[in-house]
Structure 1
């Protein structure tokens, strides 16, 4: 089985539509050396790693993932998840409050929801009643659960493939995710068959469109994940806000009505 490093480098090359020969010419190395690196038979130097990712359009996060997996120092510090929220994490928490009456939640690098605004919790209860029972929600478990939100999503196979592609990209930076992602993939493949991310979707994309068929009718959203902070400071250890934006008037109106009812009964 390929290592995280060889898998990352091969995936980045394939996503760029570049052959081994073309990459070898651009890096001024032999195609045999490129092939050996992708097959875990050779270890690239730090300079070659950075050149590889630069030629293939990889950003800082991918560069650091590759460097750490190869045993090299990252381009910038890679802090661990802090015990208490940083100022940027506090901004993420405040963002979902300001996003109300639309759904929003905050999750950590291990894909556990740590906080949701009232609309986010209400939507979860509508689309997957009984799944979120405690203070936190394991998002990967919710994807795998047959009662989870994929059960009422239109085109669930497309969404599952897109999210799985993102999770595979994230595990390069956070290898501890891999066993959980492997387990999730096994469940989703058993349910939907072979999952191939849409050709036009970037594995680094952090937004998706979804329509949910619920007891209240169809609800349509665009879900966008955001990390607060300057781009070069963004860390995979930070909390992320996922904001759900209604994409039709009916969904927007229903969210406003739900918020008004909640305010009246509060």
Structure 2
């Protein structure tokens, strides 16, 4: 029989904080020193012997690098109201943000750029992205359009990616690190789906880290993708908002595909209009 007390022991703020502390591999003493508290106080909070103040919950969450969405969950578990709003992007109050993001995407053209949420669903993209995904089957372009699914699906971009095994490994590692940090069941579901896709083994599915055939060294792992008979090379750059105050904004990421060689620059400048 599950009692109210036993439920609280597994779902209250104490166990949640302990879970984040253990996930970050931080001892009670180390966390106490970081948060200007004591190991005894941390222990009392984790075991439910002490109810933490709203301030200490937020302070501990900050030092444990807890995602904003989960900081709200910690506050609710401790008996407080959520601190951070989660405003839909189509809300009138987000008008300035939407306009700024659209201008940013246009500013990156002709280079491909897109905005994704915490599970890699595409929020917006520019004409550079539209060029790359031209010809993708319609069923993969139905909303919600997911960047990971679109990239790694056997009917998506995967057959066009010359170094698919390396790029796939990079994307799966990236998601795996995020899952470890965020404990996101939704992202885990996306990971398990795309990781299960079959991987073709074409002769060109290899990558020489020393550089491209012409001898130019790469400064980061490139995405090498065929488009209309041309081999394009990109490196990926991801940006997030500094000190966000809204859950929606905190979970947005802007990814830009920057040309990794002069030939790609020239091709994009002549093709994206």
- What is the RMSD computed on CA atoms of the aligned residues? 4.1
1:220 is matched with 234
Matched residues in 1 for 2:32 and 2:51: separation? 13
Counterpart check, 1:30 vs 2:30: no
1:137 is matched with 145
Counterpart check, 1:121 vs 2:130: yes
Matched residues in 2 for 1:8 and 1:210: separation? 39
SS in 2 for 1:115: strand
2:115 is matched with 106
Matched residues in 1 for 2:75 and 2:119: separation? 21
Matched residues in 2 for 1:189 and 1:32: separation? 38
SS in 1 for 2:248: coil
CA contact (8 A) 2:117 2:253 kept: yes
CA contact (8 A) 1:212 1:218 kept: yes
CA contact (8 A) 2:236 2:258 kept: yes
Counterpart check, 1:73 vs 2:73: no
1:160 is matched with 172
Q: Deviations over 1:144-200 (max 9, x none)?
A: 63444466343422321213433665566xxxxx3x3232232345469xxxxxxxx
CA contact (8 A) 1:105 1:115 kept: yes
Counterpart check, 1:97 vs 2:106: yes
Matched residues in 2 for 1:93 and 1:170: separation? 27
- Match for residue 259 of structure 2 among 246, 260, 266: 246
Q: Which runs of 5+ in 2 are unaligned?
A: 1-9, 199-219
2:205 is matched with none
SS in 1 for 2:133: helix
CA contact (8 A) 2:116 2:123 kept: yes
1:86 is matched with 95
Matched residues in 2 for 1:217 and 1:145: separation? 20
Larger gyration radius, structure 1 or structure 2: 2
Matched residues in 2 for 1:95 and 1:164: separation? 28
Matched residues in 1 for 2:195 and 2:143: separation? 29
TM-score scaled by length of structure 1: 0.63
Matched residues in 2 for 1:168 and 1:65: separation? 18
1:205 is matched with none
1:80 Cα shift?
Answer: 2.2
Comparing 101-110 and 140-149, the one that deviates more: 140-149
1:81 Cα shift?
Answer: 0.6
CA contact (8 A) 1:21 1:31 kept: no
TM-score scaled by length of structure 2: 0.62
Matched residues in 2 for 1:4 and 1:251: separation? 53
| Distance change >3 Å, CA 14–CA 82, structure 1 → 2 | closer
| Distance change >3 Å, CA 189–CA 133, structure 1 → 2 | closer
CA contact (8 A) 1:209 1:223 kept: no
